[in-house]
Amino acid sequence: MIEIAIVGKPNAGKSTFLKAATLADVKIASYPFTTIEPNIAVGYVTVDCVCKELNIQCGKCINGKRFIPIKLIDVAGLVPGAHEGRGLGNKFLDDLGKSQALIHVVDASGTTNEEGNFVKGYNPLNDIEFLENEIDEWFYGILKKALEKFLRSIQKGGKATKDELIDILTKQVTGLKINENMVKEALILFKENLNEKNLREFSSLLRKISKPIMIAANKMDIPSSEENYNKMKEKVKYIVPCSADLEVALRLAEKNGIIEYFPGEQKFFVKKEISEIQKRALERIEEFLKKWKSTGIQECLNKTVFELLDYIVVYPVENENRFSDKKGNILPDAFLLPKGSKPIDLAYAIHTEIGNNFICAIDARTKQRISNDQELKNNDIIKIVTR
């Protein structure tokens, strides 16, 4: 399962974001370091289910939308100096190391400073800069050990080959879910011989490749946020305006049967009589949705997986004629895979034993065998043939 870390300074709204995305029971409070141990919950990305295209009913989607699970981890708040152990820095960095991407929850209102304390007129662009710098410095400290090992090997008469450098770097960062291909890509883009003087620059490049960041411009329901959001949008490619507070309110109202609401939608419908206070609260949320099209929480998850990470959805089946498993369940599963994945990658994603016994794959639409080297496409329906 894809793992995404929710990061940011204290009081930016990380735990509220997690609750909004999952309805997990997490501690939410307006003081620094509410989160000490990471909160882990399952969220979902949403896609148009392929059953609509096939004109069949799978029974696995809701209103034609397929919900695909992802793991979300809300880690301790980050403050400047975290890479040196300040605040809960070491804990924070260890927790985010296992993730494929980061959602940086930024307080777009400018009402909290870099320490998470309440102020007025703070520039949230500072948060984006200092968080990236902290992770870059963390990467630098890890990669410095690998480079020193490589240079010692040369001094002892070892071969200064690029392959040896790649091997040493990869082994050093394996625990951060950074693979050899990511290291190779970073070295190719770097276009310089790696040394002690340019290691920080390389560390930043590898961080961008291995831990891409989506900015969740939170607290957009506060008036001061819009101006700050427009400034951030000019500087950042991947950014989504959102309000975790309003999404939590909608999710809870839906859970309690007050409204009919689908995550990520622009509208909701009141199902029963409500008090005047509830009515005013829902009117305020309705105004927000008209302006911003959604609360942004679901959009943030979807864009992180499908734009930032560039993943595709593939549906494995056992019966290619009925698009079902052996029990007759139609399109029982939907898997998220990196773009460029091959049939063998899908086989291992389903189960290690299936990967170990993989023979070939069949396109369930055409009923034709596909090449083992063929890259899978979004919404492919695939039967894996095993020994």
For 306-365, the pLDDT digits (tens) are: 999 999 999 999 999 999 999 999 999 999 999 999 999 999 999 999 999 999 999 999
Same domain flag for 168 and 284: no
| Degrees, nearest 5: CA angle 161-167-168 | 95
Q: Which domain holds residue 142?
A: 134-205
**pLDDT at residue 50 in the model:** 96
105 and 141 share a domain?
A: no
> For 292-302, how does the pLDDT look when each residue is reduced to its tens digit (9 = 90+)?
999 999 999 99
Residue-wise pLDDT tens digits, 15-71: 899 999 997 543 333 333 333 356 788 999 999 999 999 999 999 998 899 999 999
Share of the chain above pLDDT 90, in %: 75
Residue type at 85 in one-letter notation:
G
pTM of the full predicted structure?
Answer: 0.90
Give yes or no: residues 110 and 228 share one domain.
yes
pLDDT at 63: 86
* 129 falls within a domain: no
Asked whether residue 280 falls in the same domain as residue 318, the answer is no
Report d(CA 149, CA 27) in Å as an integer.
43
State mean pLDDT over 131-156.
87
- Averaged pLDDT score across all residues of the chain: 90
Please report which helix (H) or strand (E) contains residue 105, including its range: strand 101-107
The token pair at 105 is 């929850």
- Same domain? For 62 and 184 the reply is no
Residue 90: its pLDDT value, please? 52
What is the pairing mode between strands 268-270 and 259-261? Answer: antiparallel
Q: Do 81 and 217 belong to one domain?
A: yes
Q: Are residues 83 and 178 in the same domain?
A: no
Domain end, chosen from 178, 205, 232, is at 205
Assign residue 269 the CATH number of its domain.
3.40.50.300
Averaged pLDDT, 265-290? 95
